[in-house]
Amino acid sequence: MGSKLGVSSRALQAGAETAFLILGKAKELEAQGKSIIHLEIGEPDFDTPSYIKEAAIKALSKGETHYTPTPGIPELRKAIAERTMQDFNVEVDWKDISLTVGAKEAIFVSLATIVEEGDEVIYPNPGYPAYEAGIRFFGGTPKPLMLKEENEFRMTSEEVNSLVSSKTKAIIINSPENPTGSVLSKDDIRGVVEIAKSKGIYVISDEIYKYIIYDGLKHHSPIQFDSSMQNTIIIDGFSKSYAMTGWRLGYIISPKHLTQPMQKILNLITSCPSSFSQFAALEALRGGLGSVKNMVEQYTTRRKALIEEVSQVEDISMVKPKGAFYGFINVKNITRKTNLDSSKLASILLENYGVAVLHGTAMGSNGEGYLRVSFANSIENIREGIRRMGNAFKELTSKKA
Ligand SMILES: Cc1ncc(COP(=O)(O)O)c(C=O)c1O
């Protein structure tokens, strides 16, 4: 009899987020005594604001250390509904808000709830890798929308329309976008919602970076154009805005007909998110947007430093990021001159020059020729990291010349 001790094909084929693998490698090199500048991982370097931490400590002291209802504590769900009202002037039923273990679980559960074998899901490429991996995991067919640098990496509704077929189940949008920093305009978003409404498909809108936006731009959400909330699934969370990545708290706002099925799956996977993280998040919302604004001010200065440094390096360029905290650096001249792809370049940068960045293809095939750097880091590290990159490129291109 053949052995049954194998791994399922679903597990074997599952995609993972490469940034964590690079972080692991960079930490190994650091442990060997190498100096590494970390520009690879997408997380705020700020500490979680102290009033939020204190709320968690208080919750722990009060004995809030048990299971909560699967979709989270009602106070927090109501506070999210209130904030949604303030942000978009749209009323959502707090009962359709479900807390999750990070926005990542929110993406996974949303796809688990709607994707059938063979369904097509449109998503941005380059884009957050959990989209493509999640679509595949549930037997769907990923339909990448190739973002173009000449469109500043925006996903236009014309492009979306051209990919919609009778098999399309959903369109995933992410504004501000990881990794390109692109921000969709109000019209872009309205256009996508119109397509979704006319074809009877979902829009999954990942708004995890919604407050991290620059140059006076305003974030828009499909929720503004779908007030009946039939088509729109909102993914959001506390990780980025409040520097709470380790607290693992995200949420979904779902169409009413999806709420129960989603909560059934959440129940199955995690039962509920961490209780004291939820009390901390409640305080984060009650505390207003002061701490977020402070962080965004600092990201703005850091973005400026990144733009300055990139402009000093020959043969590379970068579209000015309009939101999130990533620069997506075009290194196509370097890959061409050195005959190295972006993944190999990123390895050389890490191993020989002590700067950890993410190769563009970690964010999808269309990321070839780019490197993603996070500017959620100190100005000194950003400057030093890009200088190391510049030295590397000078040496690598002169070797080949
Ligand atoms: C676009 C996007 N969505 C979701 C997430 C996941 O966030 P969380 O840490 O809350 O799971 C990330 C994290 O990098 C992200 O960039």
Distance 170 CA to ligand 1 centre (A): 19
Distance 33 CA to ligand 1 centre (A): 30
CA 50 → CA 73, 206, 287, distances in Å? 22, 27, 11
- Predicted pLDDT of residue 19: 78
The pLDDT > 90 percentage for the chain reads 93
| pLDDT single digits (tens) 292-327 | 999 999 999 999 999 999 999 999 999 999 999 999
Mind listing the domains of the chain with CATH numbers?
9-47+291-400 (3.90.1150.10), 55-286 (3.40.640.10)
Nearest ligand 1 atom to the CA of 239 is: 10
Give the pocket of ligand 1 (CB within 6 Å): 42, 102-104, 128, 174, 178, 206, 208, 237, 239, 245, 250
Distance 51 CA to ligand 1 centre (A): 23
Distance 104 CA to ligand 1 centre (A): 6
- Predicted pLDDT of residue 42: 86
Measured by CA distance, the residue closest to atom 16 of ligand 1 is: 178
HEC sequence for the chain: CCCCCCCCHHHHHCCCCHHHHHHHHHHHHHHCCCCCEECCCCCCCCCCCHHHHHHHHHHHHCCCCCCCCCCCCHHHHHHHHHHHHHHHCCCCCHHHEEEECHHHHHHHHHHHHHCCCCCEEEEEECCCHHHHHHHHHCCCEEEEEECCHHHCCCCCHHHHHHHCCCCEEEEEEECCCCCCCCCCCHHHHHHHHHHHHHHCCEEEEECCCCCCECCCCCCCCHHHCCCCCCCEEEEEECCCCCCCHHHCCEEEECCHHHHHHHHHHHHHHCCCCCHHHHHHHHHHHHCCCHHHHHHHHHHHHHHHHHHHHHHHCCCCEECCCCECCEEEEECHHHHHHHCCCHHHHHHHHHHHHCEECEEHHHHCHHHCCEEEEECCCCHHHHHHHHHHHHHHHHHHHHHHC
- Predicted pLDDT of residue 3: 86
Structure tokens at 310: 């990139």
- Number of Cβ atoms within 10 Å of the Cβ of 398: 9
Place of tokens 């009962």: 95
Phi, psi of 251 (to 5 degrees): -155, 165
Best residue among 100, 128, 131, 205 to mutate for probing ligand 1's pocket (most ligand atoms within 8 Å of CB) is: 128
- Predicted pLDDT of residue 1: 63
Sequential pLDDT tens for the chain (401 residues): 678 899 999 999 988 778 788 888 888 999 999 999 999 988 899 999 999 999 999 999 999 999 999 999 999 999 999 999 999 999 999 999 999 999 999 999 999 999 999 999 999 999 999 999 999 999 999 999 999 999 999 999 999 999 999 999 999 999 999 999 999 999 999 999 999 999 999 999 999 999 999 999 999 999 999 988 999 999 999 999 999 999 999 999 999 999 999 999 999 999 999 999 999 999 999 999 999 999 999 999 999 999 999 999 999 999 999 999 999 999 999 999 999 999 999 999 999 999 999 999 999 999 999 999 999 999 999 999 999 999 999 999 997 65
Measured by CA distance, the residue closest to atom 13 of ligand 1 is: 42
Distance 177 CA to ligand 1 centre (A): 10
| pLDDT single digits (tens) 154-205 | 999 999 999 999 999 999 999 999 999 999 999 999 999 999 999 999 999 9
Distance 68 CA to ligand 1 centre (A): 23
Nearest ligand 1 atom to the CA of 250 is: 10
- Predicted pLDDT of residue 256: 98
Q: How far apart are CA 338 and CA 321, in angstroms?
A: 27
Best residue among 45, 98, 104 to mutate for probing ligand 1's pocket (most ligand atoms within 8 Å of CB) is: 104
Distance 79 CA to ligand 1 centre (A): 21
- Quick one: 141 exposed, middle or buried, by C-beta within 10 A (0-12, 13-18, 19+)? middle
- Predicted pLDDT of residue 118: 95
Nearest ligand 1 atom to the CA of 128 is: 1
